[in-house]
Structure 1
Amino acid sequence: MHSLFDLTGKTALVTGARTGLGQGLALALAEAGADIAAIGSSPMPETERLIRDTGRRFHAQEVDLSRPFDAEQHLAAAVSVLGGVDILVNNAGIIRRADLLDVQAEDWDAVMDVNLRSAFFLSQAAARHMIATGRAGRIVNIASMLSLEGGVRVPAYAASKHGVAGLTKAMANELAAKAITVNAIAPGYMDTDNTEALRRDPERQAQILARIPTGRWGLPADLATAILFFAAPASSYVTGTVLPVDGGWMVR
C-alpha cells in the first residue's frame, strides 16, 4: 500500500511554504519522497531545514504574489534547478478582516491577487509544462470552508475562496484529458497565523470550538493525508473534488 502514495522522483512546487499549512504540506510531500520547490514572500530557513532533513532537495524563491509576477519565469526557475514540476500546490493565501461597509479597495485587490489570481496563473504555467513534458500532473488548490460558506467580516476572502473552488472545477474539466488532475482541500479552523486574532479572542474561540465536533483547532499535519491522496500517482481518477478537512464543522 505504501507504493500507492510514493512520490519518489517527483517534484512539488508549494506556494506560501514558509510557515503554517504550506510548510506542513511541503513536509508531507517531502516525507513521501518528493523534492520541494517553494515560493514565499520572505526567506524560509526553517522550511528548508525540515525538507533537507528528509533527504530531499529544496529550492526557494521569494515572490510577492500580491503584486504582478511572471508565473512562467518562476515555474522555469524551479524546473531549471529541480528538473521539472509534477505537483503544484496553490496554498498561498491572505485574509483581511473588516465590516462589509469598511472594506478598502486595496485590501480587496490584495486578497484576490494572492488567493485567486496567483493560483490561476501558476496553474496555467504548470499545466503548460506538464503537458509539454508528458507528465501526469497533479494540481492541488487550498480552498477553505469559506469556499462553501459566507463567513462574517471577510467578504474578499470568502469571494476568493469560492473562486478557488470554481477554478478547481473549471481546470479539472479542461485538464483531465491531458492526464492532469485538479482538486482542492478545504481546511476548517486551523491553528495558523491567519486565525491568531480569533484564537486570542476568548469568546470567539469558545464559540468556534463549541461547533467543531472534534473539539479542537486543526493543525498543519491534519492535511497530510489529504495532500498525499490528491498528489498520489494512484489518484488519477479523482479530479474536480473539494475535500473538507474541518473536524466536522460543515456537518454540525
Structure 2
Amino acid sequence: MTAASFAIIIPARYASTRYPGKPLVSLVGAHGEARSLIRRTWDCARSIEGAVGVWVATDDKRIAREVESFGGQVIMTSPNCANGTERCAEAIAQLGSVAEIVVNLQGDAPLSPPDIVSHLVRRLAEDGGAVMATPAVRTSRGVYEHLVRDQAEGRVGGTSVVIDGRGRALYFSKRVLPYLPPKAAEAEVPPVHLHLGLYAYRLEALKTYAAAPPCELERLEGLEQLRFLDLGLPVSVVTLDPLDWDVVELNNPEDRPIIERVLRERGIA
C-alpha cells in the first residue's frame, strides 16, 4: 500500500478563553532554555518524517511574528474561524491540494509523541470509511487523577473519548468518561482514554466540515470534533497504551509547571 502524502497545519490563536496568549507562553526545557509553546509545537512538527510541509495558521500578528522569528511558515487566516479545524480548512484552501491528507497538530499538547502522526495517516489508509483519524491514550494512574482533580475543581484538564468495538469514536467530552465504579477507578490503568489534540483529515472531509454550521453538542462542549459525529461522519481513533510520561495538555496556567517537569525528566531542551 502506497503511503498517502500529508501536510501539517498548526492552528494557533491568541484569544484563548481559559489561557489567553497560550501559544506565546514560554516553557523551560531540560537545559534551562525557554521556548514558546508555538516554537515547541513547530519543532515537534519539523521532526516528523514524510510531511510535504509545515505551516502555522493564525489570525494574530503577534503569533505570526514569533513564528517568523524562528524561520517558520505562516498562513494568515480569518479571525472568524471558530476552531482549529475551520482554520485548517481555510489554510488548505489557500495552499491548494498540497497533499492527500491534512494533519492538524494542535499546539497545546507539547508532550505528544511525534510518531503518532504516521499512525494517523496509516489508519486513514486502512479504514477507508473514516473521514478523520485522531489519537487517544489509555490513562495512567497519574493522568487519570489529574483529570479527575481538575474536574472536581472546576477546570478542564483534558478531553476523554469513548470508543466502539470497531475503533471509532462514539463521543468526546470535557468530562471524564465513561463513569467508573470505585474498583475500576482505583485500577493502576483506569479504562479511560485521553484524547490527544491531533487530527488527520481527508481533504473532502475538511470541505464538508467547513460548509456545515456548528452543532449543539459542539457548542456546549466546546469540542470541534463533535461536528463530524453530528454530521454522521465516521471518526477513527488510534488507541495507544499508557506512555512512559504523563501526557498533560497546556489548558490552564496550573499545567505549566507539570509540563516543564516532564520536559526536564525526558531531557527535552
Structure with the bigger RCO (C-alpha within 8 Å, sep 6+) is 2
Tell me the TM-score normalised to structure 1 length: 0.38
**Structure having the larger proportion of residues in strand:** 2
**Structure having the larger proportion of residues in helix:** 1
